[in-house]
């Protein structure tokens, strides 16, 4: 027995009984709604990718600005040090901390792109599978 198909039919029968509609009319309306959802996702996901790039760039600039502020503050407190950004990055502990920060930043950026791509590819297919309604090809 295909329990998922039986469940979909029972759901459609229940909805049709409450709305005085046939199951084919309900499937047609669901397909139209899924078509609109697919169109919406095509517009939303690139926007999310652009927004995530913008925030990643802002966070990177903020981190670089904080590093430069810390170096200038350190140089004011210790005038004999004359620490520069290149020298700062050569220091082992600071280099590891900064490297870990940027690695996490890059990983989070790649993760947001991966999530956007997965959503763009899988969301319509998942909805078709769960609802049992095929999205029209002309969407």
pLDDT number for residue 2: 57
pLDDT number for residue 125: 66
Q: What is the mean pLDDT of residues 90-108?
A: 75
Q: What's the number of CA atoms in the CB half-sphere (13 Å) around residue 7? A: 7
Instruction: Give pTM, 2 decimals.
Output: 0.41
Distance CA 60, CA 58 (A): 5
pLDDT digits (tens, 9 = 90+) for 17-38: 556 666 677 677 777 777 777 7
Q: What is the DSSP string of 75-97?
A: HHH-TTT---HHHHHHSHHHHHH
């Amino acid at each position: 027995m295909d329990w998922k198909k039986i469940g979909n039919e029972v759901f459609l029968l229940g909805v049709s009984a409450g709305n005085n509609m046939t199951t084919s009319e309900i499937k047609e309306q669901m397909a139209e709604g899924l078509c609109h959802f697919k169109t919406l996702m095509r517009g939303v996901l690139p926007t999310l990718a652009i927004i995530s790039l913008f925030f990643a760039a802002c966070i990177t600039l903020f981190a670089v600005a904080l590093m430069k502020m810390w170096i200038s503050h350190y140089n004011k407190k210790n005038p004999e040090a004359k620490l520069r950004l290149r020298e700062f990055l050569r220091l082992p502990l600071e280099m590891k901390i900064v490297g870990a920060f940027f690695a996490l930043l890059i990983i989070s950026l790649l993760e947001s792109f991966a999530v956007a791509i997965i959503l763009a590819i899988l969301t319509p297919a998942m909805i078709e599978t769960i609802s049992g309604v095929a999205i029209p090809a002309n969407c």
